[in-house]
């Protein structure tokens, strides 16, 4: 930090924080803005696994996949969804038209920094036929347009945005915030190095990796928290040909299904045609994810996607975040990281071992430990996942093949949601919370939109 007093401080340089800072500086050129990020800048964000220096996670002090300028989305494959049907809960604060206006605005900014113009849609005749076929098996295809920025292009876009912002606002990376305090008519933040900074306006955009920390700060400040859900499941990997009749048309197909056995909601998430399965570190817990490139040279022969079971808890339990971490830690305990099991072995109650894995026709894109997911996930989770795979097999024959690979576990953590007004301002005047860290979004487009909306609210106050 160059000084200790600013007009506005933004905590977190993920998508929400980046677009809050961008919009605020655009509307208020004279405003003194500090953007704080616990991870490294975009040029120095590295993951030893991605760089192929190590075969599996080595628990870096700050995970290069999860933390740093660009947030958890920097190393994702950059799916940008144009919809209010999924990706967050902004429609509980704003009308759908306003949300779409914000999403389109953010896309225009991304395009100015090099994003593609190509969109995939569920509104084409071919996509509507897929939706009709899915409905006949009680699978519901969510409607949306989507852009695939690509893992490599996503980082290039973020690098250009970083260069643009760093010339206009102060960005301090490797500056984790330890505490937030009320300070007269504003706020004071204390960093891990002991330095402090004050501001009139504070925008908190801590992202998923800062969820627990932010919740603890909100409790200390006396702010009300609403319990959010946690989604738990597996990452499925199978030959790309199985789903290409769907992915070639809509690319990101999100199917919802309510299981017959339990009545639980199960969904597909983050589909990556010709993609790669990857691991990521969330507060020391290794979980699984996936991404894909736009450059054909980096494509695999497989498609991967998540199958997630939504868990929303009621009183007296109020620790969904911890619940998800405990299940993920079992996988880490048994496999030293990520477990992988063939679907056929799971059905037969057999543990996949190195010998059985070597027989698989589907070749894994992530080096994971062959094992038994039934020792990690609850019976209810597994029953739901198996039922969903069998349902998908009816619209994409081959999904339930013996050699379909299941990686575990995949967990999507959502922050406890704050009580916010329609401008995303907390009960404390001048203190705003946006993005996944505020528990109101769960994707790039809505996270960015929330940052823009909060910035505009501050700018309107002058």
Four-point Cα dihedral 356, 360, 363, 366, nearest 10 = -30
Tell me: do 104 and 66 sit in the same domain.
Answer: yes
| The two structure tokens encoding residue 409 | 């576990």
* pLDDT in the model for residue 64: 65
How would you class 359 by CB atoms within 10 Å of its CB: exposed for 0-12, middle for 13-18, buried for 19 or more?
Answer: exposed
Most confident of 141-150, 167-176, 278-287: 167-176
Tell me: do 371 and 348 sit in the same domain.
Answer: yes
For residue 6, which of 438, 430, 330 has the smallest C-alpha distance?
A: 430
3-state secondary structure of 438: helix
As a whole number, mean pLDDT of residues 142-151 equals 90
Lowest mean pLDDT among 52-56, 132-136, 386-390: 52-56
With a CB cutoff of 8 Å and minimum separation 6, the contacts of 366 are 276, 277, 278, 279, 288, 338, 340, 407
Tell me: do 392 and 310 sit in the same domain.
Answer: yes
For residue 338, give its domain range.
230-413
Four-point Cα dihedral 116, 121, 127, 132, nearest 10 = 150
Tell me: do 38 and 55 sit in the same domain.
Answer: yes
Percent of the chain with pLDDT over 90: 73
Tell me: do 431 and 322 sit in the same domain.
Answer: no
For residue 6, which of 17, 21, 23 has the smallest C-alpha distance?
A: 21
Tell me: do 347 and 241 sit in the same domain.
Answer: yes
Tell me: do 25 and 72 sit in the same domain.
Answer: yes
Q: How many residues does the chain have?
A: 462
| The two structure tokens encoding residue 10 | 């933004």
Q: What is the DSSP string of 220-233?
A: HTT--EE---EEEE
Tell me: do 14 and 90 sit in the same domain.
Answer: yes
Tell me: do 204 and 248 sit in the same domain.
Answer: no
Q: Is residue 379 in some structural domain?
A: yes
3-state secondary structure of 217: helix
As a whole number, mean pLDDT of residues 252-266 equals 95
Q: Is residue 214 in some structural domain?
A: yes
Tell me: do 221 and 248 sit in the same domain.
Answer: no
Sign for the CA dihedral angle at 327, 333, 339, 344 comes to negative
With a CB cutoff of 8 Å and minimum separation 6, the contacts of 54 are 48
Decide if pLDDT at 65 tops 80. Answer: no
Q: Is residue 137 in some structural domain?
A: no
User: CB 73: neighbour CB atoms within 10 A?
Assistant: 25
Phi-psi region of 172 (alpha: psi -120 to 50; beta: other; left: phi over 0): beta
Q: Is residue 46 in some structural domain?
A: yes
Q: Is residue 216 in some structural domain?
A: yes
| The two structure tokens encoding residue 250 | 């809509």
* pLDDT in the model for residue 319: 72
Q: Is residue 275 in some structural domain?
A: yes
* pLDDT in the model for residue 151: 77
**Alpha-carbon span 306 to 406, nearest angstrom:** 9
Tell me: do 336 and 425 sit in the same domain.
Answer: no
Q: Is residue 129 in some structural domain?
A: no
Decide if pLDDT at 317 tops 90. Answer: no
In this structure, what CATH number is given to the domain that contains residue 153?
3.50.50.60
Q: Is residue 126 in some structural domain?
A: no
How many domains would you assign to the chain? 2
3-state secondary structure of 94: coil
Tell me: do 152 and 252 sit in the same domain.
Answer: no
Each residue's pLDDT tens digit, 359-408: 999 999 999 999 999 999 999 999 999 999 999 999 999 999 999 999 99
């Amino acid at each position: 930090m160059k000084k200790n007093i600013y007009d506005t401080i933004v905590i977190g340089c993920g998508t929400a924080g980046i677009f809050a800072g961008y919009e605020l500086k655009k509307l208020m050129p004279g405003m003194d803005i500090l953007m704080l990020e616990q991870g490294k800048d975009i040029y120095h964000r590295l993951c030893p696994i991605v760089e192929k220096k190590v075969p599996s996670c080595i628990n870096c002090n700050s995970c290069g996949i999860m933390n740093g300028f660009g947030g958890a989305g920097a190393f994702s494959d950059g799916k940008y969804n144009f919809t209010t049907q999924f990706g967050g809960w902004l429609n509980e604060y704003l009308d759908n038209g306003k949300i779409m206006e914000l999403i389109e605005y953010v896309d225009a900014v991304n395009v100015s920094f090099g994003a593609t113009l190509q969109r995939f849609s569920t509104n084409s005749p071919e996509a509507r036929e897929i939706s009709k076929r899915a409905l006949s098996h009680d699978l519901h295809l969510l409607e949306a347009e989507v852009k695939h920025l690509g893992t490599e292009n996503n980082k290039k876009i973020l690098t250009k945005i970083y260069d643009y912002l760093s010339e206009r606002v102060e960005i301090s990376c490797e500056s984790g915030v330890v505490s937030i305090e009320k300070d007269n008519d504003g706020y004071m933040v204390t960093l891990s190095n002991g330095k402090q900074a004050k501001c009139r306006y504070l925008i908190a955009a801590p992202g998923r990796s800062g969820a627990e920390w932010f919740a603890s700060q909100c409790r200390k400040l006396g702010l009300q928290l609403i319990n959010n859900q946690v989604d738990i499941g597996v990452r499925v990997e199978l030959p790309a040909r199985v789903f290409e009749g769907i992915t070639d048309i809509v690319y990101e197909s999100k199917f919802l299904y309510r299981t017959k056995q339990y009545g639980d909601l199960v969904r597909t998430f983050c589909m990556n045609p010709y993609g790669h399965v990857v691991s990521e570190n969330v507060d020391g817990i290794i979980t699984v994810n996936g991404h894909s490139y736009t450059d054909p040279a980096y494509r695999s022969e497989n498609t991967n996607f998540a199958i997630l079971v939504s868990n929303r808890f009621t009183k007296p339990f109020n620790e969904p975040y911890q619940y998800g971490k405990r299940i993920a830690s079992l996988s880490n305990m048994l496999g030293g990281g990520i477990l992988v099991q063939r679907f056929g072995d799971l059905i037969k109650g057999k543990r996949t071992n190195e010998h059985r894995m070597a027989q698989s026709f589907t070749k894994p894109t992530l080096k994971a430990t062959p094992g038994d997911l039934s020792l990690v996930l609850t019976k209810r989770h597994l029953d739901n996942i198996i039922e969903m795979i069998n349902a998908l097999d009816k619209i994409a024959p081959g999904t339930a093949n013996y050699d379909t690979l299941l990686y575990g576990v995949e967990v999507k953590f959502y922050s406890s949601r704050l009580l916010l007004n329609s401008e995303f301002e907390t009960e404390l005047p001048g203190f705003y919370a946006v993005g996944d860290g505020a528990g109101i979004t769960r994707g790039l487009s809505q996270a960015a939109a929330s940052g823009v909306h909060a910035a505009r609210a501050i700018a309107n106050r002058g």
